[in-house]
Structure 1
């Protein structure tokens, strides 16, 4: 039976409509899943970036905490050194005061006649004035020495207070950094948990998307086989390179050999520096060591060792002024010595070190602390304890 042409056209239109509806129904879930996957990927990427930033900040804070702890240890040593110096100055002042009182007592009790005899024995007015000035100088000397000792004691006490203030400031900074590290740890933990959740959801969606895509492909393949009678449906091989629902993992990046930093101690190595750097070198030696040759040379050896090592700056100025390394820089003592000028012995030892002189007992040392403030193993030279690593 033949259908009219209009009826045939109507049937074709209905078939086309059914096919379009079928495709829309099939593709709609895939579009929804694609939007969900994109959203989760964006969230995971954002959390990854946050976690990376948190890790970088934690590394920075850990470095700052380590630096603060080192500075606190240095300051604790200097506080103890200052307290010992203050005790010595107070004892010296008390001893000189007692000596002065004894002399004054002697002069009042039995000394007046002797002094008068010395004055009246003068052979001329000039001799009389000289002897009177001598007597006056005895008393002036005592007063001047007491005034000087009192000034030294006040200066040491002021220095101790500066160190105590810096110690309190560093401890406060360390506490704040520790608190910040705790907060970052909590944030990192929460971020990692969210990231793990998103990754699980993302993996589930990708598996579902792959399953639906596979079902659609099989349906399409079956439909084609039905349209070709006599053909045997073929089962496509699944590639082993990328399985459905899995991402191909990139090859692991080959890490370069990290290697090790080797400290190089150059015994006898010489160096040329400017006059300004020589001043700084001599001044820091005077601040950090007793005015005794080996004590000064021991500190100079540490500075020259640092200058030869890739772990430290390569100039005297940069080594001395490096953050958190030398207490006299923080407290202003270095500027004071530079203003009045270092001693001749400090200059002499600084120049010897630049010419290649090293103290053998500390030739492999890069650090030192006041010996009275630490129980570290090391070499004691001039009440400074020298050691290789922090």
Structure 2
């Protein structure tokens, strides 16, 4: 009886021991599962953090590339401005030299005309001197003839007087008269002798008067000749002075034209250098646009994995409130109040996001983000003071009000142009959190199109890609250039 009562107890004991072992095993399995799962989740968290850090590192590298490109762009822009200043100075110099060259050429033409006039005057003077010289020669010849006639008359009278003297002088003449046969003959001989004497005296007086007249005329002609000589000398002197001035101006013109040629070549060099710098600037802008697009995609990819909480208020200064209200007015002045809140939400979400600067002004002035700031519109509104509606909207978003957690906005046209996959339309703006684009639709190539045409189309697509990237440069936050045009129309 005792044995039969102990047997069930042993069975129950065994069952209890077995259940305890099973329970212990199950507990061990549960504990092991928790430990394994915890380790798994820890590993997953570490892997996620490493991936986020790697993505942030890539973003930093891209940002460094952008900063380097921006520095090169600034240096290139400074070089362009310096060259443009030098070109402007060279253009001013060229204009001055051209004016100087024109003035000198006019002076040369003036001197040439004066020299031509002087040459004509000199020729006239020389012709007059030739006439005067010929007249002097003629007068001298005439004077010589008169003197010869006078000498001849004088010699004849002298011979006659000598003959009369040899024949007895007055007595001889008296004898000649007395020898006359008749009174008539006496008178005739007397008158004849008297006539001869009178004629000789008259001729002598006539020759003397003519000689005096010719001498007076010769004196005047000689004075005229002296005047012409003096005038000729003055003309020659003036001609020499003008010729020297003309040569001097010619030398100045030659020097000016040489300087003008040199400055013109400098202008051509400036144009070539500016063309090269413009090409460099376009290349840098294209590279910057591509880097900006790459950075936007990198940020979008990281944000897609790590969606941040950008809600909450922000203790803004009076200056930040003014900047925020002015930007809202610049971007959404023609939009509804909700549209204004949405633009302000994007700015404040960026302030709260780790992917962007952490203050209002830095977000608004971040390079290549808001077109309204780059154009100077924001600062113009600040100078005049934002309107009360935009100030109210700014205060609300600073206080924590949000219209979504959007980080980007642009017009619908640009959202479709850049193939943004998901966005929300508020007024005329498309708002979205991640920059995720749809794949472009493939167009079928017609069957009859040959391989060469297909290759050409491929090349065209490759050429279009950089243009799209360049346009993406301005689109991370401020694709609203089209909206600005719409606002201006309103």
- Structure showing greater radius of gyration is 2
Q: TM-score, with normalisation over the residues of structure 2?
A: 0.38
Q: Specify which structure has the higher proportion of helix.
A: 2
